[in-house]
């Protein structure tokens, strides 16, 4: 499989076979790291990493991934770049491509990432936009695969705000033949166009569902997933969101409706006591830190395959 030169903007741009190729490569690179086997597949290559929003996991795991692969990741915050003073994205793209073999960007508008990719000849990786979080979803698939031994046929219940993380998970599930059931209140449901896109990609479109009732979604699910109720950029709506989403908390009571062996996932950062209780997050079914670790391994696969 050859993915050299491709962008990683949305999972909808990839086939099921391509996703599996990345997952297998991620697993191989994870094993190499655990064994202490060098895997310098990107000797002296460089990645520009533009962050217009905060990040712990994405930033550190991509930077560490580039280093482990023999290259260099350069963290560029909006305060340091001329973007912050109004330099247009098309100029930034054409400058960074002269120095770097790839560009990672975390920003608000998804269109900005598409524009960046249009102007840059090197691969562009979406490190989160208001609409999608594809690198997270790839790491999530890796985590489910490791914990459950398979993806096809698993039921994943996403409970809460139908946000960027939910959108990428719906697409990820569709491409790997999982059942993805999202439960969100009216007004906070995932974008119907993205849901339709996922259905069009799925082997069985009836496996992608959007509901209101969280308990119906969680019923017998093998994977429970949630994310913050207020994403970056939505801080002004926080009080309203806390009210509307209060019944969508993953807690011990909700866990009882899921499969006995269900795992609990969260992309982090978490707001304990809001979308997830502290006891569930710290409990035996939580795999949130394995999930966070897998960002590193999944990102290595993306970088090694694309750059």
Residues classed as catalytic: 106, 133, 136, 227, 267, 295
CA distances from 60 to 144, 195, 249, 292 (A): 22, 31, 28, 11
Residue 165 touching ligand NVA (CB under 6 A) = yes
Looking at beta carbons only, is 41 or 126 nearer to ligand CP?
A: 126
- Using the rule CB under 6 A, give the single segment among 54-62, 92-100, 197-205, 277-285 that binds ligand CP: 54-62
Q: Which does 277 bind (CB under 5 to 8 A by kind): ligand CP, ligand NVA, none?
A: none
In the list 101, 179, 227, 291, the residue contacting ligand NVA (rule: CB under 6 A) is 227
Q: Is 239 buried (19+), middle (13-18) or exposed (0-12) by CB count in 10 A?
A: exposed
- Using the rule CB under 6 A, give the single segment among 52-60, 81-89, 198-206, 236-244 that binds ligand CP: 52-60
Residue 296 touching ligand NVA (CB under 6 A) = no
Looking at beta carbons only, is 61 or 164 nearer to ligand NVA?
A: 164
Residue 58 touching ligand CP (CB under 6 A) = yes
Among residue numbers 99 through 128, which ones bind ligand CP (CB under 6 A)? 128
In the list 64, 72, 232, 244, the residue contacting ligand NVA (rule: CB under 6 A) is 232
Looking at beta carbons only, is 124 or 139 nearer to ligand CP?
A: 139
Residue 129 touching ligand NVA (CB under 6 A) = no
CA gap 251, 277 in Å, rounded? 5
CA distances from 184 to 18, 142, 202, 244, 262 (A): 30, 25, 21, 10, 20
CA gap 123, 105 in Å, rounded? 11
**Residue 299 CB: number of other CB atoms within 10 A?**
31
Contact (Cβ atoms closer than 8 angstroms) between residue 178 and residue 148:
no
Q: Is 37 buried (19+), middle (13-18) or exposed (0-12) by CB count in 10 A?
A: exposed
Residue 163 touching ligand NVA (CB under 6 A) = yes
Query: Site for ligand NVA (CB under 6 A): how many residues?
Result: 9
CA 79 to chain centre: 25
In the list 10, 46, 52, 55, the residue contacting ligand CP (rule: CB under 6 A) is 55
CA gap 126, 136 in Å, rounded? 10
Q: Which helix (H) or strand (E) holds 264?
A: strand 263-266
Residue 176 touching ligand NVA (CB under 6 A) = no
- Using the rule CB under 6 A, give the single segment among 33-41, 55-63, 113-121, 179-187 that binds ligand CP: 55-63
Longest dimension (CA), the chain: 54
Closest CA relative to residue 121, chosen from 145, 100, 148:
100
> In the complex, what is the shortest distance from the CB of residue 23 to ligand NVA, in angstroms, rounded to a whole number?
20
Residues that bind ligand NVA (CB under 6 A): 128, 163-165, 227-228, 231-232, 267
Q: Give contact residues for ligand CP (rule: CB under 6 A).
A: 55-58, 128, 136, 267-269
């Amino acid at each position: 499989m050859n993915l050299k030169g491709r962008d990683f903007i949305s999972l909808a741009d990839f086939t099921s076979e391509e996703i599996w190729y990345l997952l297998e490569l991620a697993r191989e690179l994870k094993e190499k790291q655990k064994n202490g086997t060098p895997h310098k597949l990107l000797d002296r290559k460089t990645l520009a990493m533009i962050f217009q929003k905060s990040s712990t996991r994405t930033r550190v795991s991509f930077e560490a991934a580039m280093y482990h692969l023999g290259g260099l990741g350069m963290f560029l915050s909006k305060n340091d770049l001329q973007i912050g003073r109004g330099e247009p994205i098309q100029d930034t793209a054409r400058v960074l491509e002269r120095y770097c073999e790839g560009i990672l960007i975390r920003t608000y508008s998804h269109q900005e990432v598409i524009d960046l990719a249009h102007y840059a000849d090197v691969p562009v990786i979406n490190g989160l936009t208001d609409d999608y979080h594809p690198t997270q979803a790839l790491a999530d698939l890796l985590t489910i695969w490791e914990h459950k031994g398979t993806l096809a046929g698993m039921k994943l219940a996403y409970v809460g705000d139908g946000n960027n993380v939910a959108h990428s998970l719906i697409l990820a599930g569709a491409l790997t033949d999982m059942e993805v059931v999202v439960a969100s209140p009216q007004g906070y449901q995932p974008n119907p166009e993205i849901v339709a896109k996922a259905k069009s990609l799925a082997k069985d479109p009836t496996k992608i569902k959007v509901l209101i009732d969280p308990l119906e979604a969680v019923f017998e699910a093998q994977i429970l997933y949630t994310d913050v109720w207020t994403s970056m950029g939505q801080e002004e709506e926080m009080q309203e969101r806390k009210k509307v989403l209060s019944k969508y908390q993953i807690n011990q009571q909700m866990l009882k409706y899921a499969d006995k062996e269900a795992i609990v996932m969260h992309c982090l950062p978490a707001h304990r006591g809001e979308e997830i209780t502290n006891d569930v997050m710290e409990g035996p079914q939580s795999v949130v830190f394995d999930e966070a670790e897998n960002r590193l391994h999944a990102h290595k696969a993306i970088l090694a395959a694309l750059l």
